[in-house]
Chain A
Amino acid sequence: MEIKVLVVDDEIDFLETIVKRLEKKGLHTVGVTSGEDALIKIQEKYYDVILLDIKMPGGMDGLDALKEIKSKQPLAEVILLTGHGTVESSVEGMRLGAFDYVLKPAKFEELCEKIAQAYMKKADQDNKIRKANIQQLLRFPGRVFDQD
């Protein structure tokens, strides 16, 4: 199954390149330059991992975008891209449900690593939900499957 990644960053040069590199890695990647565009994108399609720049001048602030995304797609894992000045906001972002944060300028390998972890967590989550759904379908109330 293809991992679907959405990258949100106002710096177009950065965005384009990172999208290309992730594509080359075999991830299905889409890039947008604002929080608003990101919200439109997640309406259209389901994303596994969203890379979100926390500091975007003008328009929607990264943390607000995070809140919106989490309310619309609670299962999508969000990795925050943060500068030095916004480490505190990132910590706040983690509390709001972000998976992790990466300090810019980020090493590409580190980024890929984080995406993989996020995807694994998400997939795990998906699995749990699927299992729960199956239980529901089979109408075995009270029985719990051992998951680990």
Chain B
Amino acid sequence: MSKPMYRVFRQRMIVITLLISFVPLTLLGYTIYYGFAKAYCQRVEQQMTARVTACSQSLDLFLEERKVILSATAKSGSLAYYNDPSHLRELFETINNQTGGGLVDLGVIDSRGDHLAYVGPYSLEGFNYREQAWFNLVMAKGIYVSDVYMGFRQMPHFVIAVKAGDAAGDWILRATIDPEIFARIVTTAQTGKTGDAFIINSAGICQSPSRFNKKEILAPSGMDPSRFGSSTTVVKKTTQSGLRLVHAGKWINNDNWLLVVTQDMDENLPSFSDMKTEEITIFLIALLAIVVTTVVTTGMSVNKLQERDRELEELNAHLIQTDKMAALGKMAAGVAHEINNPLGIIATKAGWMRDLLEEEEFRKSDNFKEYDEALQKIEEHVERAGKVTHNMLGFARSMEPVMERVNINGVLKKTLEFLDHHAQINNIRINTGFDDAIPEIMSDRSQLQQVFLNIINNAVDAIEKQGTITVQTGKNAENLVIDIKDTGKGIPDTVKKRIFDPFFTTKAAEKGTGLGLSITYRIIEKLGGTIKVKSRKGQGTCFTVVLPLTLSKKTIA
């Protein structure tokens, strides 16, 4: 996976984890809240229904009381009697005293509509009501309760009028009701900060002030009374400003008026916006904890994953490399064998020619020297080619080590013996510093010999003439350490990077194949060790081979 892919993966994990933790929680919270809200709404509705019922009963009682008193009085008295203002005043005061007030004034009107007698704050004697709607209705029906209206007084009021008849003809006893007292009863049904109670008539006109709607008497209430049935009805409505209003209504006054109790459903319902700061803080801290935990754990697992993937990739690359090298090794071995046979033949043929050249007649030939030189070249190059195939086979054979107990000091001594003669010729001193306490290790003796031979051969080549090679062994807690130092020409930094590459050489074609160190590197890797080089141009080189004291699982596998 590439870097951005890990980022996308990490983001996805975080989102999914957060969703998984939040969605059920939110659903649960919502369900609980919803259940609670529903129960709460039902309670509110019940309470409102109860209130509206109680209040409507009081209002009907209030009206009924006055209607009964007025009609009883009218029926038992006579026009002549009440036409006397002192009698009328007596009646007015009696009623108001007995019923706790409520009448503003009291008047007597004859069948022609003339106002005959009047007790009250206004002076209405002499007015004629024939043209007024209520007058005609009371004459027709016998008893009548008006809607609230302005009338001659230019004050909102409503009247209760009863018709009576005696010898002198029909007459009307009419009382004006104080809308204030009436409204006071209505307001008993109001609750809370926003609760409202008011009366409207069948046309939706306010018959009492509405506190919530800020509507005065006689203003249109904006409500549709037809939505309310004959018994107590609950109507829900959402206003434009988002308030959820509940209206409970009951018809009163012989279905002429509608008592409406209104309440904001959400007023007492706890909502999220009502949460206290500490609750919000706790909630936010919890939220933060969840988010942080999610991000951290996700980050950790994605990092782990990334690491795993990288390890796997490395392992894969290593396996592929090993495969490649094995294939290369097989091929090298095949090629070397194929070349070895013809080389052998060429060598013997050349030898045969040399044998013949020894004979007298050839020796005398003019071209003897030419033949001899040509043969020498053939032999030389056969040897050179032989060296290549030899190294290639060594390379191929570095593939599978054969483990046995090996004494490293012993192997080094053997290797140095090989080179002793050559070193002496070139004036090269060989110093050894062997630590006799190093233990035997499990390794491949012949491959190690090849390793040391390659390194020391290179050292000899680097010195050319006159110099010192120092070979030292030692150990630390886990490894054997072998240092091979020379005072040769050193390795320039540009070359250093490539010395372990197959076929990389700085030597003349007949001297180096460039396989020595690549074989060395592979062998040491196979044996579970490492090889490092330190070198300064012109000052010499030190190769350090580190071999494990005990084989790790990796090496065995």
Contact = CB atoms under 8 A, between A and B. Distances in A.
Given A20-B352, A85-B333, A105-B386, A13 B345 contact: yes
Interface string A1-28: 0000000000101100110110010000
A45 interface: no
A113 B337 CA distance: 25
A105 B351 contact: no
Which of B344, B348, B382, B393 has the largest number of chain A CB atoms within 10 A? B348
Interface string B59-83: 0000000000000000000000000
Interface in B324-372: 333, 336-337, 340-341, 343-345, 347-349, 351-352, 355
Nearest to B349: A17
A144 B517 CA distance: 58
A109 to B, nearest CB: 9
A108 interface: yes
A104 interface: yes
Interface string B418-452: 00000000000000000000000000000000000
A26 to B, nearest CB: 12
B348 A85 contact: no
Contacts of B10: none
Contacts of B351: 17, 21, 108
A114 B121 CA distance: 159
Interface string A74-87: 00000000011100
B340 A14 contact: no
Contact of A84 (B340, B347, B355): B340
B289 to A, nearest CB: 69
A83 B337 contact: yes
Which residue among A11, A18, A24, A105 has the maximum number of chain B CB atoms within 10 Å of its CB? A105
Contacts of A13: 345, 349
B348 to A, nearest CB: 4
A106 interface: yes
A85 B344 contact: no
A108 to B, nearest CB: 5
Contact of A11 (B337, B344, B347, B397): B344
A108 B340 contact: no
A117 B486 CA distance: 40
Given A83-B337, A85-B337, A105-B343, A18 B348 contact: yes
Contacts of B382: 105
B526 interface: no
B363 to A, nearest CB: 15
Interface range on chain B (Cβ under 8 Å from partner): 20 to 34
Contacts of A106: 344
B390 interface: yes
B335 to A, nearest CB: 12
B340 to A, nearest CB: 6
B341 A11 contact: yes
A11 B393 contact: no
A146 B397 CA distance: 48
A24 B358 CA distance: 11
A84 B396 CA distance: 11
A3 B299 CA distance: 85
A15 to B, nearest CB: 9
Nearest to A18: B348
B111 to A, nearest CB: 147
Contacts of B349: 13, 17
Contacts of B389: 84
A21 B345 contact: no
Contacts of B352: 17, 20-21
A84 B352 CA distance: 24
B333 to A, nearest CB: 7
A11 B340 contact: no
Q: Max chain A CB contacts within 10 Å: which of B340, B344, B390?
A: B344
Contacts of B393: 84-85
A64 B352 CA distance: 31
Contacts of A20: 352, 355
B348 A108 contact: yes
B400 to A, nearest CB: 12
B56 to A, nearest CB: 117
A102 to B, nearest CB: 11
Interface in A97-127: 104-108
Contact of B348 (A17, A24, A84): A17
Contacts of A17: 345, 348-349, 351-352
Nearest to A107: B347
Nearest to B334: A85
A24 B355 contact: yes
Nearest to B392: A84
A26 B275 CA distance: 119
17 contacts: A13-B345, A14-B344, A14-B348, A17-B345, A18-B348, A20-B355, A21-B352, A21-B355, A83-B340, A85-B333, A85-B393, A104-B341, A105-B340, A105-B343, A105-B344, A105-B348, A108-B347
Given A11-B344, A84-B389, A105-B343, 15 more contacts: A13-B345, A14-B344, A14-B345, A14-B348, A17-B352, A18-B348, A20-B355, A84-B333, A84-B337, A84-B340, A105-B344, A105-B347, A105-B382, A106-B344, A108-B347
The 5 A-B residue pairs whose C-beta atoms are closest, nearest first, are A105-B344, A84-B393, A17-B348, A108-B351, A13-B345
